[in-house]
Amino acid sequence: MTLPSDHPRVQFRTVGKSYGEVAAVRNISLDIAAGTLVTLLGPSGCGKTSTLRLIAGLEHPTSGRILIDGQDVTHLSAAERDVSMVFQSYALFPHMNVLENTAYGLLASGMKRREAEESAVAKLKAVGLAGFERRLPSELSGGQQQRVAVARAIVLEPKVLLFDEPLSNLDAKLRRQVRDDIRALQQNLGLTVVYVTHDQDEALAVSDRIVVMQGGFIVQDGTPRDLYERPANRFIADFIGNANLIPVQVMACDGDLATITLGTVRMQVPHRGLSPGPALMAIRPHAVRVAAGKTGVPFRGRVCKAAYLGGHIEYVVAIETVGAEVFVIDGNVHAPLAVGEVVDVSILVADTALVPASDEK
Amino acid sequence: MPWVIGFWASLVVVPWYGLEAGLSSQSWPAAAEAAWHGRSWLLVLLPPVLLASLAGGLRWPRLMALAGVSGLLLLALEAWLIAGKSQPPLGWGALVYASCALVVAAYGLAWQGWCRGDVFIVAAIGAVCASTLVFVGYPVSCVLISAFRDNAGHLDFGLFAAKITDRSIWGLDCLTGGRNCGVAWNSLALACIVGVLSTLIGLAFALIAARTHFPAKRLLRLMSILPVITPPFVIGMSLILLFGRSGMVTAWLNHWLDIPRSRWIYGMTGLTLAQLLAFTPIAFLVLLGVLQGVSPSMEEASQTLRSGRWRTFTKVTWPLIRPGLANAFLIGFIESLADFGNPVMIGGNFRVLSTAVYFAVVGAAQDQGGAAVLSIVLLAFSLTAFVLQRAWVGRRSYVTVSGKGDSGQPGALPRSLHVVCLGVVLPWIVLTASIYGIILVGGFVKAIGSDNTPTWEYFLTAFAIGHGDHGFFLAGSAWNSLFTTLKVALIAMPLTAGLGILTAYLLSRQRFAGRGVFEFLTMLSFAIPGTVIGISYILAFNTAPIELTGTGLIMVIAFVFRNMPVGIRAGIANLSQVDKSLDEASLTLGARSAATLRRVILPILRPAVVTAMVYAFVRAITSVSAVIFLVSGEYNLATVYIVGRAEFGEYGLAIVYSAVLIVIIVSALLAIQLLVGERRIGRREIAQKRVPTPELAQA
């Protein structure tokens, strides 16, 4: 299904979009390769949905150009672009049944009714909705409505398939399954998918590549592993995986490693381009080990809060020598620590990353 | 590209002049007119067409836009600069030329990314704007210009100043013992009184309907649709039959109580009564909506905070509905100003602005300039009220319509207030019932009040079917106007609804520069009193370049632009409840916006479409003020015919015809209800609570 092409499937060339005074998207450039699933991730208002709608043609940029398969589509309307979208609300037409909804796009592009309905039936079968053709959307469950929306979009075999927060209207249990279904469908059909979400777990689970946006800018663009292990700044370290951000001093850089002081303790970690001076150390909650007793580790802390969550326990531990509180996820549910208890704290240096002390734009 | 071909055809195929003659007329296409009839100035229309052919083929956006816009401008210049001097009125060729130029411009602008690259949307906005300008903006500006001219057509500001400050408009003689005040004061006083009283009586009705266990609530509902189905002058006529010199009640009072017969009903008192009867149901509908919008939990909260019924009403309910009261007052005020039928029936010597305009035109004086000046005063009053109403409703409405179900019982009325409301409501129901009773039976007795022998005489005069040598024929005098009315109403109905819904779609779904102005202009035609519309159409469309007077078309156009705002409001209200992602889904699935509108939006908007169609149909049958200027011998309308009969004192005929109109409207309403029915659409539709539409009642 993918065309042999030198071009990336979607290209943004310094695209900006503003609504009056408010800039939603600020001069972003972005390439999306064919056959990949790229997630636009960020908090609400970061410009990710605007970016998605710019690809769809539902918004038109105030500056810059958008190309699909090398063709300039900047001024083409949504109907003229070979792009389909699955909406957050699914946007199923309430007055049409499942079959009519699915065949709608094919009929709009001039296909004969019989052919259109055959393809629609095939795609409905592919998403597991055979036998539901005559139902109205109002007679389906949320998950089924979502699958109709997907079938309606993929039946057109678009060059790019867009998902706008497709899981947000599903209950937690269904989410994991639908997420896996979407990923499987994308890989089986070799679809190019752009996926918008504000949920970092969802993004990590489905994506080939994640584009993190904030305030209309792209702040980092990389594989899920890149983002988690090597966050570009404190915003991403915090947004993806809730890192503890502890102030440290970079004393000296030597080769790839920097010597830093954390509280009174010196250690060596990869410097990631930082020069001597203040910096932040991103420490994942599960990279901190807490245990009662004295084993001679460098840090001592006091348990401030403890919450039992079945599979693990969450603690907040104040470390006096560092002057910070850290959030800890501890798998050892059989030996809970009491609030107020003084504990040994050790940090797995391999699961930490240095980030700049302040976010530069 | 088909539109460019059409562009060519408008010049070389379609006859340029003469709208009514159609395609078979004496007129030739513009190209032929230029070549053989010496109308060489028509050649200026050619360059835009050439330009469009070039730009369309090469897909040059800026040139294409230039071609379309210059085509429209040159057409306007050609039409108005050379108007009337040496060319007949424009015809179908000009219409096709204008439409094609508009679409060509839309292509050019859409190619540059206007309206998200959507040609249909750009063209639709252009079309609605252009038609509003031609059929609302242009006529109204003609009125303004005409007011500044003397009868020979020269500009004369001194004359205008003299006319607009004339004693007949602003005189205050009645305060100092003189006979009459100026018509402006008459209109204002009447409108204020009617506004206040109709709001108060409407409030009493609304309180009874929303806050008590009144047994006959269906009756109140029925009352609320009466103004929709009643031609405006019928109330006045009916009051004359009850309280006039030889009226039924007058006769009884004279017979049993020896109260002398008098003409008190003719004049301000009778007029106030007639307008109150006509407009109170509108205030009732508005205030019922407001009262139902006050969340019961507010009143319950007040009661749990140790406030009794009276304190709850005065401290919570009353402040919450105050903006609604202001709204009801302003609507009553505007209605009263615009009313023409009742003043002409029952006003007697009490002149108001709307009737003064009419008599200035049709009276012995034939003073169009004077009529224009009066129209400006009337327009200024009603626009001020309209702007106030919109500003007030926009900013001060506390009515909370959340999607969530708000359980709870609305508080009961304080006892004293309950008694007062009942004291207002019950007599009013009796009065209304007798008014409508008179209408329905009055035409079937010899002379109501004095001779109550049943007779078919009037009915047969109007609606007899004769039988002659050539089979059956329509002998009655009313058939002609009845058929014209139905024809005009049926043609205007889909056009009104279509234009209204299209405009609503543009307003609620598209962002474009000047959207606010666009909305204001389209709603404005609602605030312009019918009399002003009537006179402005005469002034604007009597001569070239656009000549429409004397045709049936002008009535259709008048109805479309007067009644369109209801379609707009109903459409906007419904569209705001339809998720925008539905249109977007359709667009991303490859359906263009025209197809989206037809296949997704219209089916979902069916309630709004029905509302707009019903309203357009009914208003076309019942309205009189605008069309009384526009009817001709060939195209007479039912309402105008009835007013004419009543003016000659032929009340039997007038009332029998009114009754027939009401019966026709009611059966049309029922038929539409049955035909359209309700198809289950989904949760969204079910969850949506039906809100009464006050627009429907704004006569």
ipTM of the complex: 0.79
**Any idea of the CA torsion for B391, B395, B400, B401, to the nearest 10 degrees?**
50
State pLDDT tens for residues B341-367.
Answer: 899 888 888 889 988 888 888 776 677
Does any domain span residue B562? no
Residue, of B2 and A133, whose pLDDT is higher:
A133
- Residue B334 and residue B208 in one domain: yes
Candidates A273, A226, A234, A231; CA nearest to A250 is: A273
Say whether B589 and A136 touch across the interface (CB within 8 A): no
What is the predicted pLDDT for the residue at B336?
A: 92
Say whether A58 and B587 touch across the interface (CB within 8 A): yes
What is the predicted pLDDT for the residue at B695?
A: 42
Distance CA A236, CA B12 (A): 67
Q: Do domains A10-229 and A234-356 have the same CATH topology?
A: no
Which of the listed residues B112, B144, B159 is the one where a domain comes to its end? B112
- Residue B198 and residue B328 in one domain: yes
- Residue B212 and residue B306 in one domain: yes
pLDDT band at B20 (very low <50, low <70, confident <90, very high): low
Kindly list the residues from chain B whose CB atom is less than 8 angstroms away from the CB atom of residue A76: 117
Residue, of A265 and B556, whose pLDDT is higher:
B556
Kindly list the residues from chain A whose CB atom is less than 8 angstroms away from the CB atom of residue B683: 94, 138
Which of the listed residues B290, B318, B351 is the one where a domain comes to its end? B351
State pLDDT tens for residues A283-325.
Answer: 988 888 888 766 556 788 899 999 998 889 999 999 888 888 8
Candidates B595, B600, B602, B593; CA nearest to B117 is: B593
- Residue B220 and residue B329 in one domain: yes
Distance CA A199, CA A169 (A): 13
What is the predicted pLDDT for the residue at A115?
A: 93
B404: Cβ contacts below 8 Å, ≥ 6 apart: none
- Amino acid identity of residue B217, one-letter, is K
Q: Using CB atoms, pick whichever of A77, A85, A94 lies closest to residue B118.
A: A77
Instruction: Enumerate the domain spans of chain A.
Output: 10-229, 234-356
Q: Is the pLDDT of residue B697 over 70?
A: no
Distance CA B276, CA B336 (A): 9
State pLDDT tens for residues B498-551.
Answer: 998 899 888 888 877 778 887 777 777 777 888 888 888 888 888 767 878 778
What is the predicted pLDDT for the residue at B237?
A: 87
State pLDDT tens for residues B387-402.
Answer: 887 776 655 545 444 4
Q: And the tokens for B213?
A: 């266990």
- Residue B103 and residue B186 in one domain: no
Does any domain span residue B520? no
Q: Tokens 């329509």 identify what position? A: B474
Say whether B590 and A75 touch across the interface (CB within 8 A): no
Cβ B589 vs Cβ A148: under 8 Å: no
State pLDDT tens for residues B583-633.
Answer: 889 989 988 888 888 888 888 888 788 878 888 888 889 888 888 888 887
State how beta strands A193-197 and A160-164 pair.
Answer: parallel
State pLDDT tens for residues B262-319.
Answer: 778 888 889 999 999 988 888 888 888 888 777 777 777 777 777 778 888 888 788 8
Q: Which CATH superfamily is domain A10-229 in?
A: P-loop containing nucleotide triphosphate hydrolases (3.40.50.300)
Candidates A26, A5, A31; CA nearest to A16 is: A26
Residue A245 burial (CB < 10 Å; 0-12/13-18/19+)? Answer: middle
DSSP sequence for B448-516? TTTEEEE--HHHHHHH-EEEETTEEEE-SSSHHHHHHHHHHHHHHHHHHHHHHHHHHHHHHH---TTHH
State pLDDT tens for residues B47-57.
Answer: 888 888 888 88
**How many residue pairs bridge chain A and chain B with CB atoms within 8 Å of each other?**
107
Q: Is the pLDDT of residue B691 over 80?
A: no
Going along A231-298, which residue ranges are E strands? 244-254, 257-262, 265-270, 277-283, 288-292
Q: Using CB atoms, pick whichever of B113, B117, B589 lies closest to residue A152.
A: B589
> How many independent structural domains does chain B possess?
2
State how beta strands A244-254 and A277-283 pair.
Answer: antiparallel
Which chain A residues touch B if contact means CB-CB below 8 Å?
Answer: 56-60, 74-81, 83-85, 87-89, 91-95, 104-105, 108-109, 136-138, 149, 152-153, 156, 162
Distance CA B155, CA B138 (A): 18
Say whether B587 and A78 touch across the interface (CB within 8 A): yes
Give the nearest chain A residue to B61 (CA atoms).
Answer: A75
Element (H, E) at B145: helix B138-147
Kindly list the residues from chain B whose CB atom is less than 8 angstroms away from the CB atom of residue A88: 581
Q: And the tokens for B275?
A: 């307008």
Q: And the tokens for A186?
A: 């994308």
Does any domain span residue B36? yes
| Stretch B439-446: mean pLDDT | 82
Distance CA A144, CA A348 (A): 44
CATH of the domain at B275: 1.10.3720.10
B184: Cβ contacts below 8 Å, ≥ 6 apart: B169, B170, B353, B377, B381
Give the nearest chain B residue to A105 (CA atoms).
Answer: B589
What is the predicted pLDDT for the residue at B191?
A: 94
Fold of A234-356: OB fold (Dihydrolipoamide Acetyltransferase, E2P) (2.40.50)
Give the nearest chain A residue to B119 (CA atoms).
Answer: A77
What is the predicted pLDDT for the residue at B688?
A: 36
Distance CA B119, CA B104 (A): 9
Which of the listed residues B59, B86, B112 is the one where a domain comes to its end? B112
- Amino acid identity of residue A129, one-letter, is L
Q: Is the pLDDT of residue B22 over 70?
A: no
Alpha carbon separation from A284 to A287, A352, B45 (Å, rounded): 5, 7, 74
- Residue B103 and residue B243 in one domain: no
- Residue B187 and residue B317 in one domain: yes
Range of the domain at B190: 180-351
